[in-house]
Each structure stands twice: as C-alpha cells, then as structure tokens.
Amino acid sequence: MPKKTRSLSSTTRTTKEEYQIIQELRHEFRFSLMEILPYTTIKRSTFYYQAHRHEGKDNQELLQIIKSIKQQNPSYGYRPVTDELHRRGIKANHKRVSRLMRENGLSSQMYNRQTRKYNSAIGPQGKKAKNRLNRRFKTNRPYQKMVTDISEFRYGNMGQAERVYLSPIKDLYSGEIVSFNISDHPTTDLVMKPLSELINKRPLLNYRMTVHSDQGIQYQTNTWRQTLKKHHIFQSMSRRATCLDNAPMESFFHTMKTELYYEHHYQTKDKLIKVMTEWIEYYNQYRIRHILKGKTPIEYRNLALEKVA
C-alpha cells in the first residue's frame, strides 16, 4: 500500500488536503474511490462535495481560456477549441469543452445567407475535360489533388463595378490554399497567376498532380489547358451545373464568406482585399482543423513532406 494511503487518516490534514491526495492516488495508481475511502477521515458525500467545488473552479479557469480562443477564432466549434487546448498543454475532454461552450453561449454559429454567385460558365465555350476527380476528394499525398474555382465579393455600394473576384487553388490533402489571386475582372489572367505559382512552388513528386475545376470558360481556354499539359498535370472538370463535384472549394468559400463577408460591409476595394488576404494567411498558418489531427494546413503539409524528404 503506498505511503500516501497509509497516512491519509492523519487528523492533522484538512478535508481539502485529503481530497487532493485521493485524486493523486486515483490518477497515479488507478485506485477506485471505494478502495481509498476506508483509509481517510472523510465520507463519500464530502468527497463529492469537494469534487464539485474543485470542478467549478477548474471550469471557470478553463472557460476563460476557451473565451480567449473563441475571441481569436470566432468560427471554432468545440472540437477545434479542444485541439487548441491540447496544443497549449491543457488536458480537457471534448465533451466538457462542448458543455461549457454551450452553457455560456460560445457555440459556433454558421450563417446560411445566400448571395449572388458568380457564374463562370457564361461566355464562349471551349474544350471540356472529363471528371477525373469524380468526387474522390480524399488523398494521402500532398499536391496530388487540387481544386479551384472563382467567387465574387462586393464592396462600396455593391454595384456592378464595385466587386472583386477571388481565384484560389486548394490542396485536398491539407486543405491549404496553396496560391490565390484577387482581381477586378474574372479573366483568364485571374486563374493563370495562381496556377503558375502552384507550378513554381510544388516539390518534386513521383506522382502526377490533378487540378479540378468547374466548367468555367477560364478553364476551357487553350492557355489553361496547354499549361497543364506542358507540366504533366491532369485536368479535371465538374459536370455542368453540379456544384457537389467541387464541394471542397464550395465549402471553403462558404466558410470564408461567413467569417469575413456576410456580416460585414467594406467601403473600399483596398480594405476588402486586405481583409481577404489576411484571412487566407490566417487560414493556412493558424487555423487548426480537427480532421488534420489538430494541425494547421501548413503544419500538416510540412509533416508529410518531411517524411518523403
């Protein structure tokens, strides 16, 4: 029997001290409460009373940390918050975190606001590629499956001329936005800049990359198709008017607009572009994802590349 247990019945110990020793023994030696209590001077009801008081204090301390995490990451649900706590060395069960967030009005809220979606399929039609990806969005290799699309953001008086277009390329392995471009017009140049950046930064691979898009006219041009062919990249396209074929990109736009666009109004183009750029940098470098085992997209990608280096 451990010395701590033999000395628990000392009359010089306070109830609080006995409670703390009992908890240490339960954690260290896996003793049940009923195995320890006969060696103490406190009753089971007293133990649970102390446990309730102690948990309340711990919960208040944990709640303050959760609030600070939510302030920095308003969209975080209980799982990303739990992952962030673990990254900080704080042990907390996801059920406990979920309860504290729910009881204190900290649960993540996602808006379902609908805005006019840019239709990239309007215009002269070119050559279409087959749907190689075919909704097989999972991959265990970085830079193997990439998706892209174009989305519209408005500012000022929200008029015809007061809008910008975002064209990102997302790696389905890590969720990282590997490259992106923001422009006043949805031209071929809008999509070519991030493609060129992707080609220049990708590491040497022993497998071919696939870039998937919708049937937008920018992706049917000779410039886009020939660039992919030149660099031995497979081209893949969604079926017409089937947004689920590019669901990961649609999901990214929804998250981005929910957090920085739907509930905000930007007077100037410069301000909107600055916020968009900073948010994408935050998304890549600091936004932890439960699906990535509590890592950020860049951390997860780097770990994979280190293994094959």
pLDDT digits (tens, 9 = 90+) for 49-70: 666 666 556 788 888 898 888 8
Q: At what angle do helices 222-230 and 188-201 cross, to 10 degrees?
A: 10
Q: Which two tokens stand for residue 54?
A: 């102690």
Q: What is the mean pLDDT of residues 255-282?
A: 92
- 3-class DSSP state for residue 122? coil
At residue 14, the pLDDT reads 77
Q: What is the mean pLDDT of residues 29-46?
A: 75
pLDDT: is 32 or 55 the higher one?
A: 32
CATH number of the domain located at residue range(s) 145-307 in this protein = 3.30.420.10
Q: What is the mean pLDDT of residues 200-221?
A: 95
pTM higher than 0.75, yes or no? Answer: no
Question: Of how many residues is the chain composed?
Answer: 309
Distance CA 171, CA 106 (A): 30
- From 29-43, 64-78, 90-104, the region with the lowest mean pLDDT: 29-43
Quick check: 8 and 21 in contact, CB under 8 A?
yes
Look at residues 289, 280, 304 and name the one whose alpha carbon lies nearest to residue 144.
304
Average model confidence (pLDDT) across the chain: 85
Q: Which two tokens stand for residue 145?
A: 């499956």
DSSP 247-282: HHHHHHHHHHHHHHTTT---SSHHHHHHHHHHHHHH
- 3-class DSSP state for residue 50? helix
Q: Residue 5: pLDDT above 90?
A: no
pLDDT digits (tens, 9 = 90+) for 142-187: 999 999 999 999 999 877 789 999 999 999 999 999 999 999 999 9
